[in-house]
Each structure stands twice: as C-alpha cells, then as structure tokens.
Chains A and B, each alone.
Chain A
Amino acid sequence: MTNPQIVSSIIGCVLALIIYWLVRRDHLAPRQALRWVLVASIVLILGTFPIIIDWIGHAVGISYPPIIPVIVGLGAALIKILLMDIQYTKAKVTQDRIVQKLAMLEAELDEIKLSR
C-alpha cells in the first residue's frame, strides 16, 4: 500500500467513526446518517483501491482518471446544496405558517374566554 492510499483510507475510517459518534450522541438522525455512511464507504473503498478509478477511466475513455471522483463529488455536492435550499424554503414556509396559526389560535382563545 502506498502512502496516499494509507492517508485516504484513514480519512474514510475517520469519517465513518465521526458519523458513528454523531448518531450515538443524537446529533444526527439515522436517516441522514445512512447517506454519510455511504459516502464514508465510497471514500474508504476508492482510497484503498484507487485502481478502481483507473478501470472506470479506461472504460469510459477519460485520459486522466483521478479527475473522476472530483467531478462526481462536486456534482453531488451541487445537487445536495440545491436540495437543501428547497428543503429550507419548505421548512421556512411551515415555520412562518405555524407562527401565523399560533397568533390566530391565541386570538380565537381570547375571543372564547371573553364570550364566556
């Protein structure tokens, strides 16, 4: 095993450990953690066996295979950030509507109290 291989496998392992710890300490819900487990496994596998990237590069005709994980990673990050913004919009609308609803219910309660 070459030095870069060792470093990237260590990164993969550390990532997996951090995710394990986050789930254990209730900082991350298992649903979200599953995706990160997938990411950690990919880092670990590709870090330990970089030859896989060379095979893929050869198969699809990319002359500089190490760029593949970079492009795929950036693309995935971009999509994820966009999805997060959509989720944020939804969450914000829900939160604002709850604030409105709370104000409405409070006023309704006051009216009922007054009429009794």
Chain B
Amino acid sequence: MPAMNEQKTIAIVVTAVIQCGYKIIVVDDASSDKTAKQAKAAGAIVLKNIQNLGAWKATQAGLRYANKLGYKLVITMDADGQHDPCDIDLLSNAYCNGADVIIGSCTERGSTGRHIAWQFFKRLNGLNVSDITSGFRLYNEKALECLVSKQATMLEYQCIGVLLMVRNIKLNIVEVSVPMKEREIGVSRIFHSWIAVGYYLLYSGLLSLSKAFPTKKERYMNRLTGLKNVD
C-alpha cells in the first residue's frame, strides 16, 4: 500500500486490514508527516523511500518486497481510505474463480471527462478494462514476476502501463465491482492541476499507442525476467 502524507487515515486502514487477517506492507513515499510512524505503530511492515517516487513506483517497492518475502498473492490498495479492507475478500473470491489479475473497479466514480478519457484509451489500446485507474488490485505470482522488472520501473502511473504489461504476457484480467468511498482528505496526486491532467493524457496516449500491439509472449517475458534484471 503506497502512502504519502496520509497520517490521518493510515492507522485506521492498517488496523482494518490486519483485523481481516492479512499481512500489510506500507510504502511511505517520503512523507513529511508521521505516516510511517503511524503505520508501524498500527502493526504494518513499513518501507521508507528516501525520495518521492510517485504512487506506482512506491507500490512497486512494496511488490518487490512481497516478492522477496515469497508471497504468491498481493493486493494493492490506496491509503486514503477509499477502499474498504473488507472488500479484499471480494477480490480473493474472484481469484478462486480463476484469473491472474483482479481489479476492484468502481465505474460510478469520476467525472464525465474522466469517463470519456477512459473510453478513449480503451479504444486505443484494446484493453478490456472499464476502471483503469483503480488502485485496488490483486496480482498473482505470474503478474508479480513481471511487475517487479526494471521495465515496470520505467512507468509513472499504475493504470494503463501496468495493465498493458500484464495483458501483453497474456495474463487473465478480471474486474470485480466494489464500492468505493469518496476521498475525504487531501487531493488526488495525479490530477492536481490541469497541466498534470494534460500531461497524464498525453503520456497515456503515447503509452497506449506504443504498446497497443501485443508482442510475442515468450520473447516479452524473457525481456522482463532476463538475467539483466536480476539485482
């Protein structure tokens, strides 16, 4: 779970996840408040980035650590209390029905503009996912293997790039509808200004176009997990 300056909500979320019987890794993305301390006190394993890396790369730090510890299933979620830890069961139930990546999606949220953008990117990259920005996801071992790669470190956002990567190694992506709360405190880090939105749109557009045509699965997998990536 990536967290940056979320000291107001982090303890509640961590406690709720632990109560559900899961282990939790919180990645403190160079917060200036007491996020790391609060998370640790609540019982989470805390990774502290010395430099702000952004939501996706912070998440990846957590994924790498989970992979190192030998976990086979990882669920990512936001630290701002948008996702209800009880819904983790919804994702794991869906996993039992067979899939490699499960997305907890909530298409009711977001403005009309955002929905238009989602539809546009969907057409562009041929990804059959309706909620691409959801941070509430379950990854299995196969997905984890490609998401800890150096190529995945190149991505800035977890939405399209990560999903395309998973799609291109022919993993099965399934969506499960989950309720999400409106963000109560703080603002979205990705969409904090119009320039940021513009940049996001251009970035996602280029990424969608360049990764739209799936490559050969084996070759791509070799590139992702080749010897050069061992560090």
Using a CB–CB cutoff of 8 Å, the interface residues on chain A facing chain B are 89, 93, 96-97, 99-104, 106-107, 111
- Ordered by A's residue number, 19 sampled pairs between the chains whose C-beta atoms are within 8 Å are A93-B150, A96-B57, A97-B150, A99-B50, A99-B53, A99-B61, A100-B47, A100-B49, A100-B60, A100-B64, A101-B231, A102-B49, A103-B48, A103-B50, A103-B65, A106-B47, A106-B48, A107-B47, A111-B45
Residue pair B68, A104 in contact (C-beta under 8 Å): yes
Choose one: B53, B65, B154, B231; the contact of A107 (CB below 8 Å): B65
Chain B 53-73 residues near chain A, CB threshold 8 A: 53, 57, 60-61, 64-65, 68
Asked if A99 contacts B150 (CB within 8 A), the reply is: no
Residue in B closest to A104 when the chains form the complex, CB atoms: B65
B: residues with CB less than 8 A from A are 25, 27, 45-51, 53, 57, 60-61, 64-65, 68, 150, 153-154, 231
* Assembly CA distance A54 to B231 (angstroms): 54
- Quick check: B64 and A102 within 8 Å, CB to CB? no
Chain B contacts for A99, CB-based, 8 A: 49-51, 53, 61
Whether B64 contacts A107 by the Cβ 8 Å rule is no
Contact yes or no, B45 A96, CB < 8 A: no
Contact partners of B154 in chain A: CB under 8 A: 89, 93
- Contact pick for B47, options A89, A93, A97, A103, CB 8 Å: A103
Contact across chains for B153 and A93 when beta carbons are under 8 A apart: yes
Q: Pick the contact of B50 from A89, A93, A97, A102 — CB < 8 Å? A: A102
Which residues from A are CB-within-8-Å of B50? Answer: 99, 102-103
**Complex contacts, A100 vs chain B, CB 8 Å:** 47, 49, 53, 57, 60-61, 64, 153
Chain B hits for A89, CB < 8 A? 154
Q: For A93, list chain B residues within 8 Å (CB).
A: 150, 153-154
